Every structure is written in structure tokens, then in C-alpha cells.
């Protein structure tokens, strides 16, 4: 029988993992430099952005993860190491070396990430200075690290769940430039379960496919997306099916946390597509609806403009759809039956749209595939945030 | 030699074409019911939305345009006839019949459009009553019709150009739910040149491919997009190459007018992609950049966040790009050379971004194909407009 998955509040790092965060002068205030550390060798897997102009940490990280083993992660926020050519690669390596020295591990066992403005040089001396002596700051609270990796995020994001004797903890950031394609901007997953790198490398993309890869805040795919999973084995062996179920549930819950904290967002938007012709089409239609600016502004304004669902499904030109089979509901209120308006009351629908989350369910009636996408509403806050991000 | 193309202000309808617009009670104020009329039979061609849930006028229009001949167009604004099933088809036919009676032409010679909120029933009696006696209102100013077809447009849009003895006039609306895919929301093109329907049906999609189909305001593809071209021949024969050049130039100019009047827009955004591997890839990359919320908010805020160009090009996963070959400039200022920051001054770039239009040029250096896309910035005004469109 499947072991139960128990989400725990507050989040805590699994045994053997610790973290620290400092301000090294990249941000005016607050932590901008973060490390995670495992007391023992951890099996590791990672997925990275599909953006064709990846940051230097992604280029180096893809090579480094091949060994399937890590001891530490080092992350700076405020400036991403992207568009910096050979200098960027050198600085990514220097950042890992400095973390390795400070934590007493090998260079090869450190993966690095940088997140923030694209195209500016990485202030590597500040980072190197900031890492000196950071081992003394290591502690157990994952929110310390969650705060250190934030850019435009409003709240630090970490969660923990237990499955059997093992704990899974995810620390992540999101907010903007989020339509990940392999992983969300930055998500670090730690477990004390004993699993080898091959198992992790199979499980991680599968969990990410239903969670972070179904998340879109603004359709823009970051150059720095990275999702790392480290398993240090201190809690011993675990039934791998139970572990996968917990990993899957935890990544979906984190995707929802990231969506709800999207830039300017006031609510979580979930789109469930049922009975599509294929899983690929279900995912594409769910993503198209969750990304539609007109659906997002409808959710923000609680405007009962249900007809936009027809528009959004219909613009998936290459998917199998049939107007006369389309059924749709919003937070349980049927709004479209057989492709035409269902018998609902505008005021009721407005009340439901005013809530959080807004769940849009679409039944295509043409097959049996399902998908859920995660997003948020589109508000003036997104504009304000992004009209001056470089300069602020 | 090519005949010169002369744009004329103010716009005027070509000889033999007239228009009228009235309020029939769909909008609280202002005209909501419009007709165009040709004194003689006109050869005609049309392109329609690729949205899979097209409105009833699109379904009927596709059939009706096959004869290649029209005498009149009838358009209502405020409520689109979409998601109304069989009733919608019947109402589209009734609307055309009422216009045919009022103008003294055959039913088959009338094409209809409806634009506005999706999924509400069309108030057909108001439209039928409104059309009675409308022939008495026919006159020459295309801005009368341009006002009648507006929804969230801020300004009426019409332009005229002369080529040889012929005139081409375009009357259009845009504003939101605009990533046309065959045509923009509604664009009506009239000429007194003598061209047959076969020629028109070849020229129109080709002109639209470089103009309305390269326009995106918000990535949302309307269910009502329609572009009609009518040629009544009253100005006599014309060299078809010269005519095509004029049609091409006029549709591009109208695409720019539509982009600049996008919902909430403060400026026109043009993205020029050079030396792509193929025309398809050039178009895809140009569209991706012009649609990126982070590029659009950069243009709005005049924030010199040039690195977002790397992100937007890089998220075209299936296109051939090479970071070390990428060159980009904004309004003539080089910002990226060989994939890294060029030597520019942030303050200079900010000044250029504050202007209108903002032209982003990207040279991929991997082939010899070119494309230009038209869009606008993303502002709080878009949110305000669309958070309450149904209810306002």
C-alpha cells in the first residue's frame, strides 16, 4: 500500500542538510548570497531551462550534474550571469570554487545559480568575499535560504513533506519571467531518502512535467531556470513509488505557491483540461488558457466574461476540438455546454471569480487525456514591477 | 517602372463606395451598426480567423466569399455573434438580409461581421430595425464607418493611398484580442481598381502575411477576425504588381495604426529580425519578441533592460540561433554584439526607449531571411480595460 504523504508546517530541511544566506552587497538590503550544504555525499539530478541563451551557471551545471553527485549549492540573487560570454563561465566556476573552499568540499561537488538582471557582469569579488567563513552561519531553517534567493518574489517559499521515514523539502523562487521549460526559475529539492542518481534522474523530469513545466506566470522563459534534487540517504531506503508520489505532490504544491506569488498576482489560477485527444494537446490547451491575458484579466476583475474560454481553446489551431462538445465551468459553475452559454447567473459567476483560487475546468469530449496548468491573474502590479526592473 | 504610392490625408472612400453608421441600441452611445456599399458589383476576396471556434459571421462569410463578388458589408459592434450555435447562424443570415433589403442588393452579395463580447445572444431585432432606411445615410467619409466598428479602440482608423488612377482605402478596428491569424479583427479594404477575384484572392493573403498577421497586441486570437478586399473596377485596369505594392504598403501602415492603438498602448513597438535561417523562423522570432510581456513593459517603462532580448530570442526553442552571432539594437543603438552587452550608455538607451516608435532590430547571423512584427507596449491601461470588459 502507498505510504501517506504528510505536509509539515513549518518547513524544515531534511537531516544532514543545512543552509546559510548573507548580504554580499548585490542588493541594497536583505540576503543576496545563499548556500545549501549536505553533511555527506548526495546523489543528485537536475533539469535546466530550454532557453537557447542559457546563463553560465546552466552551461556549467549541465556538465557538472553528469556525475550524479553533489555536496553543495551556491546561489546569488539580483544579477544573473547571462550574456557574459567566457567571462561568465569563468565567474561561475570561481563562485563554485569559493563556495567549495568555504564549505570544505570539492569544486566538482558544487552547483551554482545566479538570478536577476540579464546581461550585466557578475560582481564576482563581492561574491567571493561574501562566501568567506559562511560555514559558521549554516543552520536548519529553509526559509533563510528561501529569502536569500528571492528577486521580485513577495514571500519566501519553502515546503516540507514526510513520506515514510524520509523528508522532502523544496526551496524555490519564481515571480516573473516564468514559463519554465524544464524547471521553474530556481527550485532546490532536498531529501534524506536513499535513492541513486539514476532513479532521481528518472523521477525529477516526470514530476517537473506535471508541476513546474505546467506553470506559467507570463510566458517568458528564463535563461536561468534550474531545478536540482539532492538525496543524501540519511533516512535510509524508501519504496520508490511512494517517494515519487510525494515528490510529485510536493512539486505541484510548490508550483501553486510560485503561481500565487507571480509578479503582481492577487490569486492562483488553475486550468484543468479533461478528455483531450492526447496528453500533449491537454497540456497545450491548459497552458494556452492559463496564459491568455484576457482570461487572466477576467480573473483579476472577477468579470464574468466566460466567452473568452471559447476564444482561448479555439486559438489552439492544431489541437483537436469540437465546439458542440465543449463543456466548461468556473469554480464549479457550468458556463458553457455544447459550445454555447450554460444557464448561469452573471452575479453568481462574479462572486466565484472574486475568490482565490479560480479553477477553470474544460472538458473537450474528444479523447481521454488530462492536464492541469498553474498560473495567476494579470494586474497593474505586473506592469509596475517590470517597467523599471533594470533600474530599480 | 513601379508607379509611386501616395498616401492621402484625410482618407476617402474610392469612387463608387459609400458607407453609413447608426446607433441601434447595442452601445449606450455612439454608432454600433455600419454598412459599406458599392454602387456596382465588386470582385471580392477575404481571409478569416484561424480560431477553431469562429463566430457565425465567419462561418457564413467563408461560404459566401466563394463566389468572389460582393456589393455590401454590414457590421455591428458591442456584441460578437460567437458561441451562439444554430441561432447565431440564423441571426447572421437575418442581419445580411436586412442590409440587402435596405440597400437594394441580393442577400448573397452581403458579408456580415459582429465584434464585441463573446457568448451573448445577438439582439437581431435591434439590428434589423436599425438597418431600415439606412441607404439615406450613405456618404463618402470612411471615418464614419471606422467609428461605427470600434469597440475598445480609442481612435477611428482609416487610410487611403493612390497608385496610378486607383485608390485603396482601408477601414479597420483592433485594440484587444489581437494576434490575428489570417487577418486582424476587422479590416475592410476597398479599391476602384479593376481586378478579378482570383487576383484578389492571391494578393490579399500575401499582403496580410506581412502586415496583419505580423501584428500582435496580446497574443489572443479573436473568433471574429475578418479582412475583406473589394474591387469595383470604376478606376479601370491597373498594373497588378504596382497594385500589390500599394496594397502591401497600405496594410502594413494600417497594422502599425492598429498596434499603436492597442488596448492601453502608449507606443508602437516594431521588431525587425534579420538573417534568420528561414522566413518562418524570422517571423516566429519577431512575433516572440513583440509578444514578450517583459519586452513590452521595458518599452513602456523606458527601462534599459536590453538583456531581455537574449531571453526572448532564446525561448524560440526550435529556431536556429547562436549566442555568439547575435547582434541587437534599439532605435539604432547597438545593445548586444556577439551575444554580449555592446558598449552603450544606459541613459542614452533610456532616452531612445522613451520615444515612439521603439524599433528593436535583431541580426541572428545564421541565414538570410527577414521579418518585421508590429506590437505595442503593455501598460496598466490594458489591465483596466480587460478586467471589466464584459460588465462595462
Q: How far is B2 from chain A (nearest CA, A)?
A: 38
Mean residue pLDDT of chain B comes to 88
CB–CB of A184/A215 below 8 Å? yes
* Mean pLDDT computed over A243-259: 86
**Helix boundaries (H) for chain A:** 56-64, 85-103, 124-131, 142-148, 197-210, 240-260, 279-291, 293-301, 308-314, 346-353, 380-386
Best mutation target among A314, A326, A346 (most B Cβ atoms within 10 Å) is A314
Tell me the pLDDT band of B1, cut-offs 50, 70 and 90. low
pLDDT at residue B31 above 60? yes
Instruction: Measure the CA–CA gap between B91 and B56, rounded to whole angstroms.
Output: 8
DSSP-derived pairing of the beta strands B333-337 and A327-330:
unpaired
How many residue pairs from chains A and B have C-beta atoms closer than 8 A? 226
Whether A341 has its CB under 8 Å from any CB of chain B: the answer is yes
Phi, psi angle pair for A389, to nearest 5°? -65, -40
Q: Inter-chain contact A307–B83, Cβ cutoff 8 Å?
A: yes
Instruction: Measure the CA–CA gap between A261 and A149, rounded to whole angstroms.
Output: 14
**Cβ-Cβ contacts under 8 Å for B242 (sequence gap 6 or more):** B2, B3, B163, B164
What residues of A are in contact with residue B376 (Cβ under 8 Å)? none
User: Closest Cα to residue A262, out of A357, A120, A372?
Assistant: A357
User: What is the predicted pLDDT for the residue at A187?
Assistant: 78
Q: pLDDT, tens digit, for every residue of A106-129?
A: 999 999 999 888 888 999 999 999
**Is the peptide bond preceding residue A357 cis, with omega within 30 degrees of 0?**
yes
* Least CB–CB distance from B301: residue in A304, A336, A387: A387
Instruction: Measure the CA–CA gap between A89 and B79, rounded to whole angstroms.
Output: 56
Tell me the pLDDT band of B184, cut-offs 50, 70 and 90. very low
Q: Inter-chain contact B303–A83, Cβ cutoff 8 Å?
A: no
User: What is the predicted pLDDT for the residue at B182?
Assistant: 37
Q: Coil, strand or helix: which one is A274?
A: strand
**DSSP symbols for A106-169:** -GGGEEEEEEEESSSPP-HHHHHHHHTTGGGG-BS-HHHHHHHT-SS-SS-EEEEEEETTEEEE
User: Closest Cα to residue A24, out of A138, A143, A148, A185?
Assistant: A148
Q: CA separation (Å) from A309 to A142, A377, B183, B296?
A: 39, 15, 21, 24
pLDDT at residue B185 above 90? no
Give the active site residue among A184, A191, A288, A372.
A184
Q: pLDDT, tens digit, for every residue of B346-369?
A: 999 999 999 999 999 999 999 999
User: Closest Cα to residue A128, out of A41, A26, A17?
Assistant: A26
What residues of B are in contact with residue A297 (Cβ under 8 Å)? 382-383, 385-387
What residues of B are in contact with residue A310 (Cβ under 8 Å)? 53, 82-83, 118-119, 223
* Mean pLDDT computed over B228-245: 87
pLDDT at residue A220 above 90? no
C-alpha cell at B361: 532590430
Q: pLDDT, tens digit, for every residue of B283-300?
A: 899 989 998 888 999 999
Phi-psi region at A340: left, alpha or beta (left = phi > 0; alpha = psi -120 to 50): beta
Q: How far is B261 from chain A (nearest CA, A)?
A: 17
CB–CB of B32/B95 below 8 Å? no
The chain A residue lying nearest B378, using CA atoms, is A383
User: What is the predicted pLDDT for the residue at A176?
Assistant: 62
Point out the least confidently predicted range of A373-382, B99-108, B179-188: B179-188
Mean residue pLDDT of chain A comes to 88
Q: Inter-chain contact B219–A220, Cβ cutoff 8 Å?
A: no
Of residues A316 and B360, which shows the higher confidence score?
Answer: B360
**Cβ-Cβ contacts under 8 Å for B340 (sequence gap 6 or more):** A83, A84, A85, A119
Whether A383 has its CB under 8 Å from any CB of chain B: the answer is yes
CB–CB of A262/A375 below 8 Å? yes
* Least CB–CB distance from B339: residue in A85, A218, A311: A85
Q: CA separation (Å) from B146 to A22, B142, B188, B258?
A: 60, 6, 10, 12
The share of chain A scoring above pLDDT 90, in percent, equals: 50
Q: How far is CA B13 from the centre of its chain?
A: 18
Name the residue with cell 479533461. Answer: A274
Instruction: Measure the CA–CA gap between B100 and B72, rounded to whole angstroms.
Output: 8
Q: pLDDT, tens digit, for every residue of A15-65?
A: 999 999 999 999 999 999 999 999 999 999 888 887 777 889 999 999 999
Q: pLDDT, tens digit, for every residue of A260-288?
A: 888 888 999 999 999 999 999 998 999 89
Best mutation target among B115, B281, B298, B301 (most A Cβ atoms within 10 Å) is B301
User: What is the predicted pLDDT for the residue at A37?
Assistant: 95
Q: Coil, strand or helix: which one is B349?
A: helix
Instruction: Measure the CA–CA gap between B270 and B376, rounded to whole angstroms.
Output: 8
User: What is the predicted pLDDT for the residue at A391?
Assistant: 65
User: What is the predicted pLDDT for the residue at B253?
Assistant: 86
Whether B288 has its CB under 8 Å from any CB of chain A: the answer is no
Whether A219 has its CB under 8 Å from any CB of chain B: the answer is yes
The share of chain A scoring above pLDDT 70, in percent, equals: 94
Point out the least confidently predicted range of A184-198, A316-330, B243-257: A184-198
Q: pLDDT, tens digit, for every residue of A78-90?
A: 888 888 889 999 9
* Mean pLDDT computed over B342-346: 91
Instruction: Measure the CA–CA gap between A105 and B140, rounded to whole angstroms.
Output: 81
* Mean pLDDT computed over B315-341: 91
Question: Would you tell me how many other CB atoms lie within 10 Å of the CB of residue B345?
Answer: 10
Tell me the pLDDT band of B179, cut-offs 50, 70 and 90. low
* Least CB–CB distance from A119: residue in B118, B341, B382: B341
Amino acid at each position: 500500500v502507498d505510504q501517506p504523504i504528510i505536509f509539515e508546517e513549518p518547513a524544515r530541511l531534511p537531516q544532514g542538510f543545512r543552509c546559510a544566506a548573507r548580504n554580499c552587497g548585490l542588493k541594497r538590503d536583505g540576503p543576496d548570497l545563499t548556500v545549501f550544504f549536505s553533511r555527506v555525499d548526495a546523489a543528485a539530478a537536475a533539469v535546466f531551462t530550454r532557453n537557447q541563451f542559457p546563463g553560465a551557471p546552466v552551461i556549467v551545471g549541465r556538465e557538472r550534474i553528469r556525475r550524479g553527485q553533489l555536496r553543495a549549492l551556491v546561489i546569488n540573487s539580483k544579477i544573473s550571469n547571462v550574456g557574459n560570454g567566457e567571462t561568465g563561465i569563468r565567474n561561475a566556476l570561481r563562485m563554485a570554487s569559493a563556495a567549495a573552499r568555504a564549505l570544505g568540499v570539492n569544486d566538482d561537488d558544487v552547483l551554482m545559480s545566479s538570478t536577476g538582471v540579464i546581461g550585466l557582469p557578475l560582481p564576482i569579488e563581492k561574491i567571493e568575499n561574501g562566501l568567506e567563513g559562511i560555514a559558521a552561519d549554516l543552520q536548519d531553517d529553509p526559509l533563510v535560504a528561501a529569502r536569500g534567493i528571492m528577486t521580485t518574489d513577495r514571500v519566501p517559499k519553502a515546503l516540507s513533506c514526510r513520506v515514510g521515514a524520509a523528508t522532502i523539502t523544496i526551496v524555490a523562487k519564481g515571480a516573473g519571467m516564468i514559463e519554465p521549460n524544464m524547471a521553474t526559475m530556481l527550485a532546490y529539492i532536498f531529501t534524506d531518502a536513499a535513492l541513486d542518481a539514476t532513479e532521481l534522474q528518472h523521477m525529477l523530469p516526470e514530476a517537473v512535467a506535471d508541476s513546474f513545466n505546467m506553470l506559467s506566470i507570463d510566458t517568458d522563459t528564463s535563461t536561468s531556470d534550474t531545478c536540482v534534487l539532492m538525496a543524501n540517504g540519511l533516512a535510509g531506503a524508501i519504496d520508490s513509488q511512494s517517494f515519487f508520489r510525494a515528490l510529485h505532490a510536493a512539486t505541484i504544491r510548490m508550483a501553486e505557491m510560485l503561481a500565487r506569488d507571480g509578479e503582481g498576482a492577487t490569486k492562483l489560477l488553475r486550468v484543468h483540461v479533461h478528455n483531450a485527444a492526447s496528453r500533449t494537446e491537454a497540456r497545450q490547451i491548459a497552458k494556452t488558457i492559463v496564459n491568455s491575458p484576457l482570461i487572466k484579466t477576467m480573473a483579476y476583475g472577477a468579470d464574468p466574461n466566460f466567452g473568452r474560454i471559447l476564444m482561448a481553446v479555439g486559438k489552439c489551431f492544431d489541437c483537436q476540438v469540437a465546439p458542440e462538445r465543449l463543456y466548461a465551468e468556473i469554480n464549479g459553475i457550468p458556463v458553457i455546454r455544447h459550445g454555447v452559454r450554460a444557464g448561469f447567473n452573471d452575479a453568481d459567476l462574479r462572486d466565484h471569480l472574486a475568490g482565490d483560487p479560480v479553477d477553470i475546468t474544460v472538458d473537450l469530449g474528444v479523447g481521454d487525456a488530462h492536464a492541469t496548468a498553474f498560473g495567476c491573474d494579470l494586474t497593474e502590479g505586473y506592469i509596475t514591477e517590470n517597467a523599471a526592473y533594470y533600474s530599480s
